Structure 1
Amino acid sequence: MAVRRVVPNIRSEAVGESREFYGLLGFEEVMNHGWIMTLGSASTPAAQVSVMTEDRTAPVVPDLSVEVDDVDAAYEAMLQRGAEIIHPLTDEEWGVRRFFVRDPNGRVVNVLAHR
């Protein structure tokens, strides 16, 4: 299994202000679903940060997202380890397959792959 990118997720009600702040560091809006906005670097597209007011289909806002090439294998590995699954493996309407798992530090990780 290969990691494609890692994106920190910031829970915030200051979405516009966050866009302006991170824009000063060279980030541009690359996705906006209303409840989640992702900002990325034009020169390094995998360098991203997401700002979220909520998670539309999951019970919590994850602390970070890890995009992998095989989300099903990642899910099975976490189940075999006995990890705490916060949000089950789900095909989301916006084109990702994902699940949430709690890491040893108590952080919630959104593990995903694009379909």
Structure 2
Amino acid sequence: MVDSYLTPKLKEGESVDLSLYPPRTRVNIRLYGLSCKDWLPADVFEYKNQWKPNAEVVNVRGNFSKAQAWCKQNLYLQDWDVIKHAMPDDSHNFLFKYPEQAMLFKLTIQ
């Protein structure tokens, strides 16, 4: 789990020397990918708000920490979001930008 925060998630064929970038940019590369290295938190918020209305929603009962850990380890932070205690039964809604990621999540977590 710790490795996912230290190792940048790169696309096929991408490589990067993190020592060339300042600390904040390194964190962005690790969390959001090389194409989003100059993003500010406000940019991430705006980006998420663009795709949220059409997001694929997966409802999770229990296993919140396991589900959140899976998302952090396998997905970019800008491509998923969570709404805690979204339903009356205190279940949580995970929102995904891509339906394929939602399907993988369902198969892995539930």
TM-score in same-fold range (> 0.5)? no
| Higher relative strand content | 1
TM-score, scaled relative to structure 1: 0.29
TM-score, scaled relative to structure 2: 0.30
